[in-house]
Structure 1
Amino acid sequence: MPQPPLVSIICLCYNHERFLREALDSVLAQTYPNLEIIVVDDCSTDGSVGIIQEYVQRHPQLRFISTGRNMGNTKAFNMGWRASKGQFIIDFATDDVLLPERVSQQVKLFQDLPPDYGVVYSDAEYISDNSVPLHLHSQKYKAAPDGDVFAEVLGRYFICPPTMLIRREVYEELHGYDEALAYEDFDFWVRSARKYKYAYLPQVTTQRRLHNSSLSSGWYRQGNKLLASTVIVCSRAAEMIQTEQEREALVRRLKYEARHAYLTGNFNEAEQLLQLLEQVAGMPFLYGFVRQLNRHKIDLGFLRRLYLRLRNRQ
């Protein structure tokens, strides 16, 4: 019987001391028989490296790579996947948890798909700092699509990033993540979905941890690089759209990002997004008004804060 395809799990660690043992144990507990496990530490300043070294001694199949200096997620991951050999790759942050059948389930689905499918993604369970179950991804983000998802990834968020299993060819064609960006997900989805199809596995395969130090917690904080990266990705996407459906999806995205950028005081990024909106769709009256408010730096952030408080009470 032929050996199943090699799957490389790139375990990214940066100051995950509290969660690292649970994360690595979940990788080692996979039922899938052909794994390559590479742990990349991005110069943690806590006790993470000591834990990794302990696991490498106990489990010689683990490979340990240190970035040498703190590089950020995109560069650290690229270092890991370029050192790997797997036909399929998982980008795994070591504050999350893989369920035991994760790899087996996703590889099985991949083997039933044609080669133009580049990504399999699934449902996930969100957990707290203390690993208490919170809710399912599918409870909040409905209607996970299959096939050509380019318009969908332009218009809305629906993929839980740590659930993805990705063909190696996708990373090779994209040359990995764009290291000039502050985060990878949106850019990866846009560039990969333009050519490759996505398949959805309606199973919970992963536990994703929500905590205050996560990257997404500071998304619209003034001065952060995340929103600037979003502007770059939206600009790229505008050059890729081919249909009216895709244009409308990008317009939805631009309106959403421009609103939030303005209401959080990110006036430069808001102006860039509004300029792009004007190029793609003309300037809708309401957003022309927002542009004037933005140019005069009139602070209406209390409206967003009020909305978020009311939403969180529901």
Structure 2
Amino acid sequence: MTEPLVSIICLCYNHASFLREALDSVLDQTYPKIEILIVDDLSTDNSVEIIQDYVHRFPAIRFIRHTQNQGNCASFNEALLLSQGEFIIDFATDDVLYPDRVALQVEAFQKLGATYGVVYTDAELIDEQSTSLGFFYARNASGQLFPKPVQGDVFSEVLGRYFICPPTMMIRRLVLEELKGYDPELAYEDFDFWVRSSRNWKYHFLDQVLCQRRMHPHSLSRRVYQKGDKQLASTVKVIQKAQKLVRTPLEREALKVRIKYEARHAYLTANYAEAAQLLQILQEEGGMTAVYKLLRMLTKQKVPLQFLRRWYHRWRYGHTSA
């Protein structure tokens, strides 16, 4: 069986502290047919100097240096157009790949049918000092994972809940070409990609830990559900797209679950405009129960109940939430 080319698109913005560890992990892959593309999205630290050192030592690396900040989605799309791999990894340069990451995911793809577009895995979580914080999936004594991963047709599942660790994905190029890449109008890509891709493509979960996801205060994921969070506006747009894609009552119920979840968090983080939009969509979907009618009234009045979310997080996790 021939070895397909894999393109690793490395996206950098002010990752100087983590960049060498990240790029070394790409170069240390055991899989032989890899192309590396690095996009620096106008970093203000010394990321560019570090990247140039790697390009000098490894001339096969393709380096795209931005003179204007374009965001992750547009940066990824630019590199995607230049790439040639049959499979793609979207790699943030604050994360770390395990050496056999590419080899094992390619092997998994080669055992699957052509209708499978994504292979995703478990991940180790690390802090700024690369100290382990555990894993993305919790495992009970019998080996069951939480959140429960799903395989095959995952469309209704990605509508209703989060269960995929984004940096673990390997994506079939045909999927991205069908979608015309990421939506550059959005502040983040994963939820939108999951919704649009899973409508026509199957997902496979490979129960392996194949990368490290870095958790630090400046990551996009840590800014979700804060007051003024620009990602919520993107979430509203993705939900509006999902409205046009749902086909079954089960999928519509999953969409309502997601809308309610996002509306609650938008309200409880004082993002009232997005909360109002989400509640309007919920009404369109016929999901306005008495609780959410009350939430709509509180949203209109901008009644500040953010302390409830902080209290819940203190009770649930032992700390306050931003």
> TM-score category by the smaller chain?
over 0.9
Partner of 1:287 in structure 2? 292
Say if 1:142 and 1:282 are closer, same or farther in 2 by CA, change over 3 A. closer
Q: Distance in 2 between matches of 1:198 and 1:271?
A: 33
Structure 2 match to 1:102:
101
Amino acid in the other structure paired with 1:255: K
Aligned to 2:60: 61
- Number of the residue aligned with 2:141: none
The structural deviation recorded for 1:203 is 0.1
Partner of 2:159: 154
Q: How does 1:1-314 map to 2 (within 5 A)?
A: 3-139=2-138, 141-313=146-318
Stretch deviating more after TM superposition (221-230 or 34-43): 221-230
* Distance across 2 between alignment mates of 1:222 and 1:37: 37
Alpha-carbon offset, residue 278 of structure 1: 1.0
CA distance in 1, matches of 2:146, 2:258: 16
Question: Deviations 1:179-212 (Å, cap 9, x if unpaired)?
Answer: 0001000000000000000000000001000000
Q: C-alpha displacement at 1:3, in angstroms? A: 4.1
C-alpha separation between the residues in 1 aligned to 2:135 and 2:221? 18
For 2:249, the aligned partner's letter is E
Identity %: 59
Contact 2:256 2:287 in 1 (8 A): no
Q: Which structure 1 residue ranges, 4+ long, deviate > 2 Å from structure 2?
A: 221-224
Deviation string 1:73-106 (CA, Å, 9 cap, x unpaired) is 1111111111100000000000000000000000
Q: Secondary structure at the match of 2:128?
A: coil
In the alignment, structure 1 segments of 5+ residues that lack a partner are: none
- Using the alignment, how far apart are the partners of 2:207 and 2:291 within structure 1? 39
Partners of 2:123 and 2:286 lie apart in 1 by 35
- Give SS of 1:69's match: coil
Segment drifting more, 302-311 vs 135-144: 135-144
Q: Give yes or no for contact 2:229–2:271 (8 Å, CA) kept in 1.
A: no
| TM-score, scaled to structure 1 | 0.98
Decide whether the 8 Å contact of 2:192 with 2:238 is kept in 1: yes
**Whole-Å separation in 2 of the counterparts to 1:85 and 1:67:** 21
User: Per-residue CA shift, 1:134-174, capped at 9, x if unaligned?
Assistant: 11111184220100000000000010000000010111110
Corresponding residue SS for 2:64: strand
Aligned pair count reads 313
Deviation of the 1:281 alpha carbon:
2.4
Letter in 2 for 1:132: T
Supply the AA of the counterpart residue of 1:131: S
TM-score, normalised on structure 2? Answer: 0.95
Moved more, 198-207 or 64-73: 64-73
- 2:227 and 2:267 mapped to 1: Cα distance? 10
The aligned amino acid for 2:132 is P
Partner Cα distance (1:34, 1:211) in 2: 32
Counterpart secondary structure, 2:270: coil
Unaligned runs of 5+ in 2: 139-144
Q: Secondary structure at the match of 1:281?
A: coil
Aligned-partner Cα distance in 2 for 1:104–1:136: 21
Q: Distance in 2 between matches of 1:141 and 1:102?
A: 22
